[in-house]
Amino acid sequence: MYFAGVDLGGMGIKTGIIDESLTLCCKTSLPTNPHRGFDKIIADMAESITMLAQGNGIAINQIAGIGIGIPGFAHNGLATAVNLHWFDVPLEAQLKARVNAPVYVDNDATAAAVYEYRLGALAGSRVGVLLTLGTGVGSGIIIDGKPFSGAHGMGGELGHIEIVPDGIPCVCNNRGCLEAYSSASALIRRARMIIMERPESMLYHQTNGDPNNATAKLVFDCAKQGDFLSCAIIDEYVKYLAMGIGSIENILDPDIIAIGGGVAAAGDFLLDKIKIACEGKGVFYGKKYSDIRLAAGGNDAGIAGAAMLSLH
């Protein structure tokens, strides 16, 4: 028995198949080309699963379930992903009609959280939270071993906790969201300001004075070398992230919070700062609620985690 997983993004359709031991047996990818109609993308997903199985000696009737992680949310089998221009797309029904197997659709960060619960940093948790710090701030919640997506599929959008009243505009059309302050995009925004305003800075010299060359990794690299302005950017970033984590702790009381996404590549340098900033954030006399740790999943966590949605 096997389970197929699809990590659907704006750039690529990543497909993989896991076996009953949760081992990723095979994988493939192809471009999404999101300007096409959703029916063509769904057809590509179905063909990708079928060809991957056949190419690796797996009969299609051995696929017991298909999980799809999408950059949005799903409810009653209908998928909404704004960056794909999808609104209430019948993803579950259309894919099931093309590949005769049960289909499960959820947010891509939720799929990654399922992986972390099964094989990674959230293993053994009763209430586990994954925060993915990338272009935005994604999140997945696992409660008693099951992914939590709320009553309408939109639960767990922790990146859109408001931490600053009337703050920086967010892509969700609200203001002051955690994502607006603690995403890689937020780091890059601050770095570009420094580059434009402080020509004596290390960031200016490392980018040849071009703000478009700024990256989140560069800010961390400069901070690790002791650059004062880069350290100030990181400290501000972590301050806001800790505000969000404090709210998450007070709402969900998770035993583990895992930090993933591209920004988490900064490793213990970032993690140590987060832990210090989160000290005393709990409402009960400064009690520390959560074990905050780095996520374990690598590049294939989204694919494997999507496949594992079938197990729930």
pLDDT in tens, 234-274: 999 999 999 999 999 989 999 999 999 999 999 999 999 99
Residues 177 and 284 reside in one and the same domain: yes
Task: Please report, as a single letter, which amino acid is at residue 152.
Answer: H
Residues 253 and 272 reside in one and the same domain: yes
Q: Residue 206 belongs to what H/E stretch?
A: helix 202-206
> Mean pLDDT across the chain, nearest whole number?
93
Residues 69 and 165 reside in one and the same domain: no
pLDDT at residue 144 is higher than 80: yes
CA–CA gap between residue 55 and residue 207 (Å, rounded): 45
pLDDT at residue 127 is higher than 80: yes
Q: Please give the pLDDT value at position 283.
A: 62
CA–CA gap between residue 198 and residue 193 (Å, rounded): 8
Average pLDDT of span 201-206: 96
Residues 189 and 264 reside in one and the same domain: yes
Residues 164 and 187 reside in one and the same domain: yes
| Helix 301-308 vs helix 108-119: crossing angle, to nearest 10 | 90
When comparing pLDDT for 41 and 156, which is higher? 41
Residues 232 and 97 reside in one and the same domain: no
Confidence of residue 55 (pLDDT cuts 50, 70, 90): very high
Q: What is the DSSP string of 105-141?
A: EEEHHHHHHHHHHHHSTTTT-SEEEEEEESSSEEEEE
Q: Is residue 6 part of a domain?
A: yes
Total domains in the chain come to 2
Residues 138 and 257 reside in one and the same domain: yes
Q: Please give the pLDDT value at position 10.
A: 87
Can you give the three-state secondary structure of 161-177, one letter per residue? CECCCCCCECCCCCECE
The sign of the CA dihedral 81, 84, 88, 92 is: negative
Residues 72 and 218 reside in one and the same domain: no
pLDDT over 70 for what percent of the chain? 97
Confidence of residue 171 (pLDDT cuts 50, 70, 90): confident
Cα dihedral value 84, 87, 92, 95, nearest 10: -50
The domain in which residue 68 lies consists of 2-114+300-311
Residues 106 and 252 reside in one and the same domain: no
Residues 179 and 99 reside in one and the same domain: no
pLDDT at residue 279 is higher than 90: no
CA–CA gap between residue 62 and residue 60 (Å, rounded): 5
Q: Is residue 34 part of a domain?
A: yes
Q: Is residue 119 part of a domain?
A: no
**pTM of structure:** 0.92
The CATH number covering residue 108 comes to 3.30.420.40
Q: Is residue 187 part of a domain?
A: yes
